[in-house]
Amino acid sequence: MTNEFSLHWFRQDLRLSDNSSLNYLSQKHKRIVCVFIYDQVNCNRKLGSASKTWLHYSLLYLNNKLNNNLLIFKGDPEFIFLDLIKQNKITEISWNRCYEPWRVERDKLLKKTLRKHVEVKTFNGSLLWEPWEVLKADSTPYKIFTPFYQKGCLTKKPPRKPISNNFSFFDHKIKSLSVTGLKLLDKLGWENKVINHWEIGESFAEKQMNNFLKEGLGDYSHGRNFPNKLNVSRISPYLHWGQISPNTLWYEAEKLQQDVETINIDIFKSELGWREFFYNLMFHFPNIQSKNLQIKFDKFPWESNDEFLKSWQKGLTGYPIIDAGMRELWKTGYMHNRLRMITGSFLVKNLLLHWHHGEKWFWDCLFDADYASNSASWQWVAGTGTDAAPYFRIFNPITQGKKFDPEGEYIKKYVPELKNIPHKYLYTPWECPSEILSEINLKLGVDYPFPIVDIKLSRAKALKAFSILKK
């Protein structure tokens, strides 16, 4: 009996504080062993490049916190757990729930199998409200954000308060892979440079949160729209991997009620509410990543144009604000929310390319790539979602640039070839007179591209395409 222990399975809850499963085990058992399994079995969307890199460094950090006691495996969790049970005296296994459709299926079966051998418990470690708890009076899921959040969430019991406790980890002698053994960084490509923009691990999530609460929240409702301001939280990658819990963010923001105007706190909380909404949609509509939620869009005449797609991905569309956004993504593995809308609208409504292309590119490049949020947001941008934007909402990249980057600082930061162009032409470089262009030594079509589509024409074309969906 001396070697008996319980097992916590780390998944997207890579933190020690406010961790429901760990907290449960620590109150019940003296000895806890933690395991991480790199599992892509039956997964319909394997981790993107950015995600794998984030995961690599997250595991290094976590293993270090656990005094190198994190068990690391690769493969099918069922076989791995059954083998562990066979070789050791394991009393109980627990984990925090995930909600991706393939995992929900897998975990259901796994639980059944493991329960033949050990006790198994699962917890909510990543959502403020469970998706099956937020339903309309008729027991069907909400499709519109506002009633979902206002009525479905806010009138329910408030989210669980964060918990903290101390526990020590059992110094086991079980053999497993090392983090590098997972070969998450096998390619040695783009990601390894981009990751330098971030500090990864639980304590850095907390640092990021505190910095945001101090510097960003105060003017959140207004400042969050301006990509050059520091008002957005930039906490999404940490939140995705569970390096911080939404509960902690929710209540830490609420604590500032004396110092910050209520509207800023409420809007920040509602952004967490959007995340809940996306998970709710994913849970109830498991095809959200592949199928248009509005099936009438199945017959929408999307175009096919690899050149356009490449120009968009590389930030070479000829529209400065679009290119700045796409290059921010490429350079930092992150994109400001405002830019996600502008670049998304451009791909779908000006280039008329299928939202799947955008969804895939973001999935591969974003450190915060999240199955629910990414899919649902792309459907929102495309207007194919349940909570569809009106068909006529087509962002104008010139207007949006002037409105949300009025000094052009954001554009110049990521599109430095335009740094000497007179401000008057910063948003429309193709209108810049040739004398000025030669004066500043900028060759349009060489140093910076001409627009790949005409805004007015492409807008009209999109409106026409949308009109076939009528009736």
**In whole angstroms, how close is the CB of 456 to DNA at the nearest point?**
7
Piece in contact with DNA (CB under 7 A), picked from 114-122, 304-312, 314-322, 451-459: 451-459
User: How many residues make contact with DNA (CB under 7 A)?
Assistant: 41
Distances (CA, A) of 342 to 376, 401, 433: 16, 9, 27
**In whole angstroms, how close is the CB of 146 to DNA at the nearest point?**
3
Residue 28 or residue 284: which is nearer to DNA going by CB?
Answer: 284
- Under the binding rule (CB under 7 A), the answer on residue 466 touching DNA is yes
What is the C-alpha separation between 9 and 229, in angstroms, rounded? 39
- Looking at the DSSP bridge assignments, the partners of residue 122 are 95
What is the C-alpha separation between 451 and 433, in angstroms, rounded? 16
C-alpha R_g of the chain = 24
β-pairing verdict for 32-38 and 5-10: parallel
Residues 178/72, Cβ–Cβ less than 8 Å: yes
Residues 386/293, Cβ–Cβ less than 8 Å: yes
Piece in contact with DNA (CB under 7 A), picked from 93-101, 350-358, 420-428, 454-462: 454-462
- Under the binding rule (CB under 7 A), the answer on residue 295 touching DNA is no
Residue 160 or residue 338: which is nearer to DNA going by CB?
Answer: 338
Site string for DNA, 242-281 (x = CB under 7 A): -----------------------------x--x-------
Residue 58 or residue 343: which is nearer to DNA going by CB?
Answer: 343
Candidates 112, 393, 424, 464: give the one binding DNA (CB under 7 A): 393
- Under the binding rule (CB under 7 A), the answer on residue 457 touching DNA is no
Among positions 123-152, residues that touch DNA (CB under 7 A) are 136-137, 140, 142-148, 151-152
Distances (CA, A) of 257 to 173, 218, 260, 268, 272: 49, 10, 6, 12, 17
φ, ψ of residue 279 to 5 degrees: the values are: -65, -35
Piece in contact with DNA (CB under 7 A), picked from 165-173, 181-189, 360-368, 389-397: 389-397
Piece in contact with DNA (CB under 7 A), picked from 120-128, 323-331, 390-398, 437-445: 390-398
What is the C-alpha separation between 369 and 240, in angstroms, rounded? 8
**In whole angstroms, how close is the CB of 126 to DNA at the nearest point?**
18
294 closest CA partner among 459, 143, 131: 143
- Cβ neighbours around 151 below 10 Å, total: 14
- Looking at the DSSP bridge assignments, the partners of residue 448 are 444
Please give the residue ranges that form the binding site for DNA (CB under 7 A): 136-137, 140, 142-148, 151-152, 225, 271, 274, 337-338, 341, 377, 380, 386-396, 399-400, 403, 455-456, 459, 466, 469-471
